[in-house]
Structure formats: structure tokens, C-alpha cells
Structure 1
């Protein structure tokens, strides 16, 4: 009997859309199961913004990979072709934007189910901001304007996620309050510059391209407050 492949996903606090050095994207490449991986960018959260797609192609076109883009606002693939396309990818890289809108569009097109199937088959799922939020059971988001909690997600990663923990005013206290009050389950908060790899739902590795950037485990303390624990990260060398 063939063993089931490990199910892996990566939360990114940066990448081609925010960083010039490419260190986090290189790290993602190192997790791919193929020497020349098929890498699909999914820009749903930005409304398939053309400039975002162009930045992806500029960053990944010169790399040793087969880059592609999955647009859903002008969808071209039928259901069978969409499934075949997604299941053929080695890496699915989800961009930032509006987490709530991303989830709604994915469910309309059945992409949520296909990504769960790809995950079970060993495709590496990853993303930044909304593209990190979407994999968990809930997240901290500005999808509705002000920062708030979103008790919704694909549920592939247990708990909740908060991106931009160190860079956006209000993120830290707002997320801690959501976890402390039970509006969000305990979860993971990422500073910008951090990458976190999970295998079968368990944290496997943490890396950072920015000195001092951290991943935090945030949990309720049972007394109406939240506690956070920084996780040691391996620095990425240029």
C-alpha cells in the first residue's frame, strides 16, 4: 500500500508582492515536491488584479518552474478542466486582498473543494495575507473595513491566523482580544517577513527574512486575556 503524501501548507509574511530579495519565495521553492515545480498563482482576493498577476509572472517567469495563473472573475476552464489543472500543480500560491470575498468566490466555483483535494494529494498550499488567512478555521481581517474577526475559512489548518502582526496598527490588540473572548480559536500570528510551514496541521518549520520578525502562538489564558509565545525562526540568508 502506498503511503498517503504529507499534507503541507505555508503561511507567508511576504514574498514577490512585497519583497525584493525573493528569500521567502526561494524557501517556498525548496518545499516543492518537483525539481521544476508547477506553480499556480491564485489572485482571487485582489479581484484578479492585472498588476498583481504581472508581478507574479515577472517574479516567477525567470525561475526554474512552470508558472501559471488561475483567474476566476473571467473563468475559462469548465469543471473537469479546472479540477485537472489544480490537481496537476505542485504549488498553489494565493495572493492577498479580501479574505471574505476570496472564500465566497472559491465556493461559488468549487475551488474550495478542489484545493482540499489537492492538499490531500500533496500539493503545497501557500499564500500571503488573505492567502494565509484562508487555510485556517478563522482569521483576523480587514475584509469588512475595520479590523475584525472572521470565523470562517477552509479549515485545513486548525485554529486561526493573523497576518501583518507587527506592521499594521491595531492588529496585535484586536487579534488578542478575539482569541481571548473566543470569537476566534487559538492560532498563529505572523510578523511581516516570516514564513511558517505546517505538515499535517502541525508546525514544522519557521523562517524569517527580517531580523526580529517572529511567528507567535496566541492562546486564551482562561481568565479573559490572551497569551502569546514567540517561536524561534531560522534566518534566511541572501
Structure 2
């Protein structure tokens, strides 16, 4: 195991479950120092869906890494072995599904505490959809049916997160309203196809697999509304760089 000593979180708007080119997953692996990083997939939000697990394994077996899976609905590891397993990973990759259910199951098994410890040790924590939401103080979710705010999360990333910002109806307007009325703190809205890396809570890299996909910073405007600002992103793949991520 070779980790970067700085605490880092990566939010992914795609990856193996959505994208054919694999650019975002390659970007994640490129953020790790190890030549063959240990990458653990955590499918809790989907109820450990077997097909989802197989898609992860099929995608990452072909990459220079050591993939594994942490199931919790049919848990096999005792507390000591679970801690050793989580802390032995270079990357923890959390899948999509229900953010609310994910947080509840993690807390029941103490995985939330282990992930905090792994974060402090430099393990790269990342994920898509619910797997992006979970790291922040709050998030925008469809865990309850219609899109709404969830003022709950691990709080490793300051502020809030909204995935699928443009692709899912109601997301953008609902998230803007939640930030405007301060039901959620200021945060980051990801369009599908975007990746954002945060080092110790600060944005240090922003990438996109499509020239049209954007990362947005959303904040209250002081007049009862909210503002959104598109953040420049590097274009992945055999394309020219379109911009540099803000680190403010």
C-alpha cells in the first residue's frame, strides 16, 4: 500500500457504470502513487447489487490495480479484519444508489469511522452519485423519491454536493433552492462526465471527459437566491486542455 499523506476526496460524474471510454476511472487511478493500487469497491448504496459488483470487477481487472469488494449486507469480516481491510486500501470507490441507506448501513457497521481514519491516513476516497454525496456535510438526493436536500453526510468535504446536475429533471432547480434557503450549505454541482479532486477540503483538480460537461460552484447570492459559477476543467483524453481548476 502506497498512499499520499494528504487527505483527499474525488467526486465522479460517471466511471465504469456509465462511461465507455474509462477516462474518469483512469483519472482516479492516476491520482495514486502506487504502481498497482489496491482499489476497493463499496456497493452499499445499491444493496450490494451483484450485477453492479460484476461491472466494477470487469472494468478494474483490466487495469493495473488490485480490485476488491466490500459487501456489508452479507458481511464476512469481524471488526478487526474489517478495519485492517479498509485501512489497507489505496482507493475506496463507492457506488451509486441510495445515499440515506448507505449512511445508515455504514454507521451500523462502523464503516463511517473506518473511512474517517482511512481519509486521515491518505487513502483516496471517491465515488459516483450517492458515492459522491456521502463525503460532504449535506447533499442533494432522490433517496426519498423526488429530488430533495439531505443535511447529513460524513462531513469530510465541507459544504454540499449535487450529482446529475443537468441530466436528471428537477435536480438543478431543487439544489439551487436548497442552497438559496440555506437548507444546504454552499457546494458543488457535478454534471455527468466531470471529476473533481479535493485535497484537505480544497478543490485541486477538475476534469471532464466531454467539452460540454461542467463542474459548478453554487452559493447563496445574499438576496434570497443562489448563484452558480462554472469551474474550468481539464479535458481528458487525446484533447487539448480547456482550463485549469480553481483552488480557491
TM-score, structure 1 length as denominator? 0.98
**Residue deviations 1:7-49 (CA, integer Å, cap 9, x gap):** 0110000000001100000000100131100000000000000
Question: Using the alignment, how far apart are the partners of 1:237 and 1:31 within structure 2?
Answer: 15
Secondary structure, aligned partner of 1:31: coil
Question: Using the alignment, how far apart are the partners of 1:5 and 1:71 within structure 2?
Answer: 27
Secondary structure, aligned partner of 2:165: coil
| Structure 2 portions without partners, runs of 5+ | 239-248
Q: Which residue of 2 aligns with 1:153?
A: 153
Runs of 4+ in 1 over 3 A off after TM superposition: none
Q: Which residue of 2 aligns with 1:133?
A: 133
Q: Which residue of 2 aligns with 1:111?
A: 111
TM-score, structure 2 length as denominator? 0.94
Secondary structure, aligned partner of 1:76: coil
Alignment of 1:22-37 (within 5 A): 22-37=22-37
Q: Which residue of 1 aligns with 2:195?
A: 195
The size of the alignment, in residue pairs, is 235
**Residue deviations 1:154-173 (CA, integer Å, cap 9, x gap):** 00000000000010011110
What RMSD, in angstroms, separates the aligned Cα atoms of the two structures?
Answer: 0.8
Q: Which residue of 2 aligns with 1:11?
A: 11
Question: Using the alignment, how far apart are the partners of 1:165 and 1:11 within structure 2?
Answer: 13
Q: Which residue of 1 aligns with 2:237?
A: 237
Q: Which residue of 1 aligns with 2:210?
A: 210
Q: Which residue of 1 aligns with 2:174?
A: 174
Question: Using the alignment, how far apart are the partners of 2:126 and 2:118 within structure 1?
Answer: 12
